[in-house]
């Protein structure tokens, strides 16, 4: 059944070309037209000059509202999705952490079902092929060397929904795994690594195209030993993730990333865990206990910084507070991550794309959210 066209007037649309005054016509769950002048027939809604931005896209998130993707619980996943959608994040890639081979396979199979149902935009495996010395909030006992046979099993279980995997380039078999991922259409990300500058460049040459939460769980930058940070910031083939909760990365260091890589290569992510949306207390991330105090999450046993507890619009506001123009910050949380993982029809306000939109106030707080042409918040 065809829906009556909805025309959003009085809008400032954030598009790939910047921000411009335009009305947006919504038909059958998609953006049908952007224009100026008379929009023609349809139900009109005046937005009073507010920003209309793409629904945000979080490609590195582990949970929220007391649930986690590694739990592989369909009802819990739906709650994570609904919570984020109401907040303005309309596309999620479900993130897994290091687990046993059997559990990893079970988790991938369960999330693939939710991808088939349209709840998730894909599956991301942050472990287990990462460095023990940079394990962060991953159980070191569950880490292992890259194995293309295990990776192939994930691909079969994921039925085309595995979108990204993090690999430490210095591990035995890492370049073979990165090459296998690249050839199969899965994005290989460099992260949780002690890799040298040269090893990181070799990984990029083998097909790695994303840097997992740059700075964090990564060999630090040194002027005589630049390591992975200099390699990924300096290579135009790489999109760099940034957790901009002002806990994982100082705003000054975040601005340096934007200046070095440019806004078209910075992907804002949350790395959010189950505590997001709830509050302080003790939670789990995979097999590890995590304590949240004043919104900051740390592994109980080691004290290592764990996932964040923010939702993606907060990262956008933090980027703007750090000096990034609003339109660039919004694209870093929408079109950049979408393009990095090859997600179709999301992350931009464009004709033919899904009508996943977020209406923002002047202070970039979320005023309303549309998903597939219907208001959900």
Residues 237 and 371 in one domain: no
Dump the DSSP string for 106-165. HHHHHHHHHHHTTS-SEEEE--SSS-GGG-TTS-GGG-----HHHHHHHHHHHTT-EEEE
Residue 302, pLDDT score: 85
Q: Give how far Cα 215 sits from Cα of 113, 154, 220, 271, Å.
A: 33, 28, 7, 14
Residues 40 and 180 in one domain: no
Residues 106 and 77 in one domain: yes
Q: Is 42 domain-assigned?
A: yes
Could you tell me the residue range of the domain that residue 105 belongs to? 56-340
Residues 188 and 266 in one domain: yes
Report how many domains make up the chain.
2
Residues 209 and 303 in one domain: yes
Residues 101 and 183 in one domain: yes
Identify whether 271 is a catalytic site residue: yes
Residues 37 and 100 in one domain: no
Residues 356 and 249 in one domain: no
What are the b/e assignments for 105-144, b being 16+ CB within 10 Å?
Answer: bebbbbbbebbeeebbbbbbbbbbbbbeebbbbbbeebbb
Residues 19 and 148 in one domain: no
| CATH code: domain of residue 371 | 2.30.40.10
Residues 27 and 99 in one domain: no
Q: Is 90 domain-assigned?
A: yes
Residues 61 and 42 in one domain: no
Residue 141 tokens, joined:
């006992």
Residue 211 tokens, joined:
């840097």
Q: What is the pTM of this model?
A: 0.95
Residues 151 and 76 in one domain: yes
Q: Is 166 domain-assigned?
A: yes
Q: Is 196 domain-assigned?
A: yes
Q: Is 87 domain-assigned?
A: yes
Kindly give the interhelix angle for 312-321 and 251-261, rounded to the nearest 10 degrees.
Answer: 90
| CATH code: domain of residue 122 | 3.20.20.140
pLDDT tens-place values along the chain, 377 residues long:
456 899 999 999 998 888 999 999 999 999 999 999 999 999 999 999 999 999 999 999 999 999 999 999 999 999 999 999 999 999 999 999 999 999 999 999 999 999 999 999 999 999 999 999 999 889 999 999 999 999 999 999 999 999 999 999 999 999 999 999 999 999 999 999 999 999 999 999 999 999 999 999 999 999 999 999 999 999 999 999 999 999 999 999 999 999 999 989 999 999 999 989 998 888 887 777 888 888 888 888 888 888 899 999 999 999 999 999 999 999 999 999 999 999 999 999 999 999 999 999 999 999 999 999 999 99
Q: Is 18 domain-assigned?
A: yes
Q: Is 345 domain-assigned?
A: no
Which residue of the set 71, 139, 245, 271 is catalytic?
271
Q: How many other CB atoms are there within 10 angstroms of residue 238's CB atom?
A: 23
Q: Is 1 domain-assigned?
A: no
Q: Are 331 and 18 in contact (CB under 8 A)?
A: no
């Amino acid at each position: 059944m065809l829906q009556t066209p909805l025309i959003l007037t009085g809008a400032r649309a954030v598009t790939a070309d910047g921000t411009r005054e335009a009305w947006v016509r919504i038909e059958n769950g998609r953006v049908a037209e952007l224009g100026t002048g008379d929009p023609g027939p349809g139900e009109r809604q005046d937005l009073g000059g507010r920003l209309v931005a793409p629904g945000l896209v979080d490609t590195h998130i582990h949970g929220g509202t007391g649930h986690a993707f590694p739990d592989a619980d369909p009802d819990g996943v739906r709650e994570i999705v609904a919570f984020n959608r109401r907040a303005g994040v309309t596309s999620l890639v479900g993130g897994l952490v290091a687990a046993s081979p059997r559990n990893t396979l079970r988790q991938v199979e369960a999330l693939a079902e939710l991808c088939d149902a349209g709840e998730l935009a894909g599956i991301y495996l942050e472990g287990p092929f990462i460095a023990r010395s940079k394990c962060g909030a991953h159980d070191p006992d569950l880490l292992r060397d890259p194995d293309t046979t295990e990776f192939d099993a994930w691909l079969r279980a994921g039925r085309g929904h595995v979108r990204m995997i993090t690999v430490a380039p210095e591990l035995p078999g890492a370049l073979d795994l990165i090459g296998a991922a690249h050839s199969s259409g899965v994005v290989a990300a460099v992260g949780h690594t002690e890799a040298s500058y040269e090893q990181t460049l070799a990984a990029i040459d083998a097909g790695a195209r994303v840097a997992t939460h740059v700075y964090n769980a990564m060999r630090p930058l040194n002027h005589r030993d630049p390591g992975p940070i200099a390699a990924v910031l300096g290579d135009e083939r790489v999109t760099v993730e940034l957790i901009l909760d002002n806990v994982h990365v100082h705003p000054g260091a975040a601005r340096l990333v934007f200046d070095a890589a440019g806004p078209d290569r910075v992907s804002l992510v949350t790395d959010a865990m189950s505590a997001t949306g709830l509050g302080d207390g003790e939670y789990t991330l995979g097999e590890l206990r995590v304590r949240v105090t004043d919104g900051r999450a740390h592994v109980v046993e080691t004290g290592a910084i764990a996932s964040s507890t923010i939702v993606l619009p907060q990262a956008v506001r933090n980027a703007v507070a750090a000096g990034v123009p609003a339109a660039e910050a919004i694209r870093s949380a929408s079109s950049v991550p979408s393009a990095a993982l090859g997600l179709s029809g999301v992350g931009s306000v464009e004709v033919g794309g899904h009508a996943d939109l977020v209406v923002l106030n002047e202070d970039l707080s979320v005023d309303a959210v549309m998903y597939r042409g219907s208001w959900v918040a």
